[in-house]
Amino acid sequence: MSQHDTQPVSAAIYAVTGFDVQPAAVVPASSPHAAHELDEKWHQYSSAGSLYDDRGAFLILPPVSGGSEIGWVKVTDPIGEHLPSRISAVTGSPEFLTMSTDGRHLCAVSVEEDEYWVVQHEFV
């Protein structure tokens, strides 16, 4: 997949961090079951938002320092659940950005003060 087939990384980041962003779901970080709730909400919205292609693949910005310079990486999640928790276990934060392979649908997790946000965006 070439870079021009997807949205630029900067457009995706702005769709998640821009000042007028409204989350699709909010999970209080102080909730006793915050990780489980975030996993469930992200899965709900990523599935409903046409994130996965017919083979279960999607694009992710590597959730590491410098990930935006790496750019979109096509992946297939063999586990298929608890992605925010699994990312948090490795990186210390559940934040990450994913996009459909056609570059139209974005689903991300953002940490905002004392809340976790699930953000959806459709590029037209």
Domain borders along the chain are: 3-122
Q: State percent of the chain over pLDDT 90.
A: 75
Give the pTM.
0.89
Nearby residues of 66 by Cβ (< 8 Å), 6 or more positions away? none
Q: What is the pLDDT of residues 73-99, one digit of tens each?
A: 999 998 888 999 999 999 999 999 999
The residues that bridge with 57 in the sheet, in sequence order, are 76
Q: Which residue has the tokens 């997790």?
A: 109
Q: What is the Cα–Cα distance from 19 to 36, expressed in whole angstroms?
A: 27
How far is it, in rounded angstroms, from Cα 117 to Cα 23?
A: 6
Is residue 7 predicted with pLDDT exceeding 90? no
The answer to whether 41 and 81 have CB atoms below 8 angstroms apart is no
pLDDT bucket at 49, cuts 50 / 70 / 90? confident
pLDDT computed for residue 8 by the predictor: 84
Q: Which of 79, 96, 78 is nearest to 87 (CA)?
A: 96
Q: What is the mean pLDDT of residues 32-38?
A: 97
Burial of 115 by CB count in 10 Å (0-12 exposed, 13-18 middle, 19+ buried)?
middle
Q: What is the mean pLDDT of the chain?
A: 91
